[in-house]
Amino acid sequence: MTYLAGEMMTGGYGGADILHECSIGVDRGEIAVVVGPNGAGKSTAMKAVFGMLGLRTGRVTLDGEDITSLKPQERVLQGMGFVPQNQNVFTTMTVEENLEMGAFIRRDDISLTMKQVYALFPVLHEKRRQPAGELSGGQRQQVAVGRALMTQPQVLMLDEPTAGVSPIVMDELFDRIIEVAKTGIAVLMVEQNARQALEIADRGFVLVQGRNAYTDSGVALLANPEVRKAFLGG
Amino acid sequence: MTDVLNAIVLLGNFVLVPGLAYGSQLALGALGVTLIYGILRFSNLAHGETMSFGAMITILVTWLLQANGISFHPLPTALLALPFGIIGAVALCLIVDRLVYRYYRQQRSTSSIYLIVSIGVMLITGGLIRFIIGPGDRKITDGERFIIKARDFKEMTGLNEGLAIKTTQGVTVITAVSVVAFVFWFLGRTRTGKAMRAYSDNEDLALLSGINPERVVMIAWIMTGALATIAGTLYGLDKSFKPFTYMQLLLPIFAAAIVGGVGNPIGAIVGGFVVAFSELIITFAYRKVFMYLLPDEMAPEGMIQLLSTDYKFAVSFVILVIVLLVKPTGIFSGKLL
Ligand SMILES: Nc1ncnc2c1ncn2[C@@H]1O[C@H](COP(=O)(O)OP(=O)(O)O)[C@@H](O)[C@H]1O
Ligand SMILES: [Mg+2]
């Protein structure tokens, strides 16, 4: 039983269906990566799993329970965290305020979690009094991930966390994400940098036009000649 | 030397002191407009009537207090009644939101629809106010009229010109400073205030963080109702209460909010003073100032007044046009709440 699973999801934004019986999922302590060409529906699949999209058919389960009808806020309460692809920080608020807002639903002491986030991303501690809008792309992504970690989620969903950052910063971010997964959190992420992402992935999903094209372990997908040829540039 | 001092006192008396008071009133008004724009994302044209409504309740309660022999000497009795006015205006805002705006929120209406809806709210509220208290002019000031009287100032300093500070002007400035300080503390330091800024900054991400939008909207209306009542009552104390003037006030208030950058609280406050001082500086007759500063043979003939006070609203209008032409986003653009 996969910890978080979107099963046979079909749906879209009100018009034509974007997703067609699409399934993605991840287990605790694992990293699952969703790759595919632009417009394949990767972000849409993530939104569907997070309840930001009405599904016509299919369901989403968390730890065996059907959560298909829960609103996004209710999924946050169930231990899910989401870093959207765009506009994923509060630009006018300081780094520290971003983290505080991430922990908004918590009523207990958040200082320990904040320390952990700062330990994971030391540069954020340095810049904690700066508005997030003034940070570099890589630092912003760290704020975005840090914000989602503040609820102490069981599942962390990331939509292209390395978009627009340099290769060095990308490696750095991947290392941090591996660290997060090692603490037992399930990490489900969409990545443009398919090769690097599949290298750290326990599972990989290749989506094409809203359908599952290939599903396998990261290593197997990397070794699959068809996948290599079509999606990894040979 | 005395001439220079006389000129300065003259300007102080007719520009600086009234400008500080009027600027404070506009700033509080613009703060309410900006708050609604930042959270609900529309220009609330009913804000002037909200100010009027809050001031009206304050006046009604003031009369009640006065009839029972309760006063707040040397301060105006209206200050005692202010909390009731605030409760009244907040109730009005919340009821209107529940009956009117919530529907358009659920419809996900565009901001131009909201704008038109707010005109309807403005007209109905305005009618309600005239129905309850009438369209006439009401003087509501009691208590000590002056903090410093012009005559006392002249005797104290030996100057020709006097500097008068009305109690209402002092009360206005002190209240405005405390209220603004409170608003900034609230938005900057409290959990709820930060949640409002977060919602204003990025609605979707606020939802993902578990911030409840209906609660944010409710608090925005509560603050707006309170700010509107305080601004409206201070204006009524300083000048007089007449329902029609609050509709006229919309123009300088929106000019203030837009000059500073709509959605930005600091901008609203700076904008309030920019508009107030522009109005006073442009409509002031400088004849006496020049008589003090220039040698007698060069004394000016006319009033040296750029614009008659009858046209003071034109000043706001011109400021508005210039800002929209030159820098439509206002001075402090790009920063919400
Ligand atoms: N908010 C939206 N409303 C309508 N259609 C959308 C929306 N977002 C994305 N789409 C459409 O859905 C399809 C998949 O988009 P998306 O999931 O963003 O792809 P990916 O993340 O794989 O690049 C595209 O055809 C896109 O045009
Ligand atoms: Mg995408």
CATH code, domain with A13? 3.40.50.300
Nearest bound ligand to the CA of residue A15: 1
ipTM for the whole predicted complex goes beyond 0.95: no
d(CA B17, CA B161): 14
**What's the half-sphere exposure (Cβ side, CA atoms, 13 Å) at B284?**
19
Residues B41-52: tens digit of each pLDDT: 999 999 999 999
Strand pairing report for A186-190 and A80-83:
unpaired
Q: Is A18 in the pocket of ligand 1 (CB under 6 A)?
A: yes
Nearest neighbour of A76 by CB, restricted to B204, B210, B336: B210
Rg from Cα positions in chain A:
17
* A147 contacts B202? CB cut-off 8 A: no
> By percentage, how much of chain B surpasses pLDDT 70?
99
Task: Look at residue B240 in the predicted model and tell me its pLDDT.
Answer: 92
- The answer to whether B30 and B23 are in contact (CB under 8 A) is no
Which residues from B are below 8 Å from A102, CB to CB? 209
Residue type at position A213: A
Distance CA B186, CA B44 (A): 22
Distance A38 CA to ligand 1 centre (A): 9
A81 min Cα distance to partner chain B (Å): 8
Cα–Cα distance list, A220 to A188, A204, B290 (Å): 18, 9, 89
Nearest ligand to the C-alpha atom of residue A161: 2
Q: How far is the CA of B288 from the centre of ligand 1 (A)?
A: 69
Q: Count the neighbouring beta carbons within 10 Å of the beta carbon of residue A133.
A: 16
CB < 8 Å to A100, chain B: 191, 194
Question: Per residue in B267-276, pLDDT tens?
Answer: 999 999 999 9
> Encoding tokens for residue A1?
């039983």
Q: State which residue of chain B sits closest to A98, comparing Cα positions.
A: B198
| Structural domain contains residue A60 | yes
Q: Is residue A132 part of a domain?
A: no
pLDDT of residue B289: 87
Residue A161 lies in a domain: no
- Cα dihedral sign for B104, B109, B115, B116? negative
As a whole number of angstroms, the distance between CA B320 and CA A95 comes to: 35
pLDDT at B334: 54
Confidence of residue B336 (pLDDT cuts 50, 70, 90): low
Q: How far apart are CA B36 and CA B200, in angstroms?
A: 10
Taking an 8 Å cut-off on Cβ atoms, the answer to whether A104 and B210 are in contact is yes
Q: What is the pLDDT of residue B312?
A: 87
The packing angle between helices A137-149 and A95-102, to 10°, is: 30
- Residue A64, in any domain of the structure: yes
| Residues B76 and B140 sit within 8 Å (Cβ to Cβ) | yes
- Could you list the residue range(s) of the whole structural domain that residue A71 is in? 1-77+190-234
| Residue A159 pLDDT | 97
Nearest atom, ligand 1, residue A190 CA:
21
Domain count, chain A: 1
B54 within 8 A of B225, measured Cβ to Cβ: yes
A–B interface: beta-carbon pairs under 8 A:
59
Among partner residues A77, A87, A100, which is closest to B202 by beta-carbon distance? Answer: A87
Over residues B28-50, the mean pLDDT reads 95
Exposure letters A82-106 (e unless 16+ CB within 10 A, then b): bbbbeebbbbbbbbbbbbbbbbbee
Sign of CA dihedral A25, A29, A32, A33: positive
| Residue stretches of chain A with pLDDT short of 50 | none
Nearest CA to ligand 1 atom 5: A13
Pairing of strands A203-208, A31-35: parallel
CB contact under 8 A, A90 and B208: no
Q: Tell me the C-alpha distance between B309 and B201, whole Å.
A: 40
Task: Give the pLDDT confidence of B143-162 residue by residue, as tens digits.
Answer: 888 999 999 999 998 898 99
Mean pLDDT confidence for B9-14: 94
Choose the closest CB to A90 out of B191, B202, B212. B202
Domain spanning B2-326, CATH class: mainly alpha
